[in-house]
Amino acid sequence: MTQELFREDATLLHCEAVVVAQGEGGVVLDRTACYPLGGGQAGDTGWLIAGGQRWRVTDTRKSKEFPGAIVHLIEGEPPVVGTAVQVEVDAARRQAHRRFHTATHLLCALLPYPVDGCSITETYARLDFHTDEPFDKDAIQAGLDRLVAEAHPVRHRWISEEELDANPGLVRSMSVQPPRGLGRVRVLEVEGVDLQPCGGTHVANTAEIGAVVVTKIEKKSAKTRRVVLGFAGRGG
């Protein structure tokens, strides 16, 4: 089991940790600030540092072998079990994920359809909605700009599974159900805008999303409309 420091603080970019296992292309740490691929959001990259040595973390994944463990994929020979390391998260990549991820919550508020796919990366985010309604790119852009400018606070909290069951409308995504069996579920609230279960990393206020542009609207299938976001000034 890896202690998930990123769940409580998405701004945390460093922590101390110990290598507890090797395998699956990298190492498992007892605790980490690195977010593992999941919920549509890409994994963090970064570095592990011990003494004068640095190991590149090329991706972060949930262990397939050990439930609850997080694997840091390592370039080259990984540090041995028992090594105390300093974890360093790639700050620019994390910040891009936080901004795009929070922007996808704003899209959920603007487009009241079930979500059936999501991908959040360093350079773009895309969200698929289950609907055959036509989407108006300019109206979505205007809505995003407004919600960013309104500077809504963003925060997470934990609710019981009973509370979640009593509010089935909280689950917006058809493809990704919140993890069950832990007794509690993390919900993300964009104050006055959106509330849904989510384990990802977000900014603390919609103003921090900054200039995000709707780069594309696609009809993926008869019943799926895709919205693609990019950062302004990066050529989409």
List residues near Zn ion by CB under 5 A: 188, 198, 200
Closer Cβ to Zn ion, 59 or 189, answer by number: 189
d(Cα 225, Cα 116) in Å, to the nearest integer? Answer: 10
Whose Cβ is closer to Zn ion: residue 78's or residue 200's? 200
SS3 189: strand
Kindly state the tokens that stand for 192.
């006055």
Whose CB is nearest to Zn ion? 198
Least distance from C-beta 19 to Zn ion, angstroms?
A: 29
Minimum distance from residue 87 beta carbon to Zn ion (Å) = 22
If the CB atoms of residues 78 and 197 are measured against Zn ion, the closer one turns out to be 197
Phi/psi of residue 7, nearest 5 degrees: -70, -30
Nearer to Zn ion, 55 or 113 (CB): 113
Alpha-carbon distance 75 to 97, whole Å?
22
The least CB distance from residue 101 to Zn ion, in Å, is 5
CA distance 74 to 108: 35
Residue 201: CB minimum distance to Zn ion, A? 8
